[in-house]
Amino acid sequence: MALLTVKDLSIGYDGQVILSGLNFAVNAGDYLCIVGENGAGKTTLMRTLLHLQEPLGGEILTGDGLAAGEIGYLPQQTAVQKDFPASVREIVLSGCRGRCGIKPFYGRKEKLLAEENMARMGIGELAGRCYRELSGGQQQRVLLARALCAAKKLLLLDEPVSGLDPKVTAEMYGLIEGLRRDGMAIIMISHDLSAAVRYASHILHIGRQLFYGTTETYKVSETGKYFLKSAEEGGINA
């Protein structure tokens, strides 16, 4: 069985459906890219998959013994108050919470993992710094490191490369590739269509037209052709 199976899902807010008829599945090692215009409902879909909001219809089934503590998540926006006192290390470590189970404190293993992921995201020197005093891109990397700490089998990323410089963006894509080869499933929302078709194994296109399938079929589908062409031409990102 797949890690995640979505059957005829409807999503929206307060009973107002913004998208319905969603069907797709995510297996271990899959790399699903969700693309679509601003306001299409990508973030809403991801939050529904994470049970942060109720589905308005249909089902989300988890399989392969996927437990909540094995999922990593990078939110699009984190509403942290301006004056929240938290160091980078504290935030990244909080990603290990799900691994600890009922253990109240972080052990050496968790601390090591946090250090590793901070080094991966190039924020090792920022470990003691206060989160709210970092630049937007640095904050994004902190939250990415936290998501990596939490992810065991499934990693959900909502526009992970927005705000990152080209070098870190490239490293980020490389990193995700590596994780995937180790068997991690990735669901990523992205406006970077060219990267999406280069790296992803599956594409879910939402909006007026729905598309779900492998990247190869997306490239030759009507929806895919149209959006890839307009993305190339006008630099319009779908």
Ligand X SMILES: Nc1ncnc2c1ncn2[C@@H]1O[C@H](COP(=O)(O)OP(=O)(O)OP(=O)(O)O)[C@@H](O)[C@H]1O
**Site residues for Mg ion per CB under 5 A:** 42-43, 76
The answer to the question of residue 34 lying near another protein (CB under 8 A) is: no
Among 191, 186, 149, smallest CA distance to 42 is for 191
Q: How far is the CB of 78 from another protein (least distance, A)?
A: 5
Between 93 and 238, name the residue whose CB sits nearer to another protein: 93
Rounded Cα–Cα distance for residues 142 and 205 (Å): 28
Binding residues for ligand X restricted to 75-94, rule: CB under 6 A: 76
Binding residues for ligand X restricted to 27-66, rule: CB under 6 A: 36, 38-44
Rounded Cα–Cα distance for residues 228 and 70 (Å): 34
Q: Per-residue string for binding with another protein, 130-169, x by CB under 8 A?
A: x--x------------x---x-----x-------------
Residue 203 near residue 228 (C-beta atoms within 8 A): no
Between 126 and 189, name the residue whose CB sits nearer to ligand X: 189
CB under 8 Å to 51, separation ≥6 — which residues? 60
Instruction: State the virtual CA torsion across 83, 88, 90, 93 in degrees, nearest 10.
Output: 140
The entry of Mg ion, ligand X, another protein, none that residue 87 binds, CB within 5 to 8 Å by partner kind: another protein
Binding residues for another protein restricted to 41-60, rule: CB under 8 A: 47, 50-52
Among 79, 164, 85, smallest CA distance to 129 is for 85
Q: How far is the CB of 89 from another protein (least distance, A)?
A: 8
Task: Give residues in contact with ligand X (CB under 6 A).
Answer: 13, 18, 36, 38-44, 76
